[in-house]
Amino acid sequence: MSDSRPEIDMPLATTLIKKETGQKSYPIWLVVNPKHPAVRHNIWTPALAHIQDKVYKEIHKIIDTSNIYFRSVVSDSRIVTNQLNWWGVEIAKEIELFRQIVLENKPKILISFGSFPYEFLRRVYEIKPEKGPRYWGNSNLGLEFERLIKDFDINKTNLVPLLRRLVSSDRFIEGHNCLEKDYFHYVGTKLAEKIIENKDHLDIWIE
């Protein structure tokens, strides 16, 4: 089931959230759809628990998460796309702004949550072909995660698409014979493996 269905317009009071926290110099960035800021708790927190657990067990280090850079891809959720206007002029401006920021700071791990943030990042990096609003459902995002983890290269910025939400009927979940808790274990383990492999190239550790 895709998470990119049309959204009901939100009241003005709920459309504006703090756009960024953390430090741009930190190697790990999280980017979200401003309509769904809860993914930081619902998806990232349980995945991070598995990352920290595996990292500590294998190399006895703890990731300092206090400065992870967290950013909404756009500052106002009212300009987030819908089915009829997938990429408007305002979003094009946000893409250009974000492109300048990533080229200047060069994060090593750039994690997105759900369809819109991931396609936003693909357009930041001018990855073709561009995809429409229905393409990045959970199944395709899951497959994309696997592909990009296999191609992980610490010498460049690595896009890491995570799901925004889990639904038990998703083909990705079914195909991996797993429940929600196993998704967090799966992606957390895969990310931890790459972090461990590149531990000497990541300034992320609690000393």
Smallest CA-to-CA distance from 114 within 157, 180, 76, 160 is with 160
Residue 82 has a pLDDT of 63
Smallest CA-to-CA distance from 191 within 181, 179, 183 is with 183
Helix (H) or strand (E) holding 144: helix 138-150
Strands 158-162 and 109-113: parallel
Average pLDDT, the chain: 85
Mean pLDDT of 1-5: 41
Residue 90 has a pLDDT of 84
> Which amino acid type is present at position 80?
V
Residue 128 confidence (pLDDT) above 90: yes
CATH no. of 12-201? 3.40.470
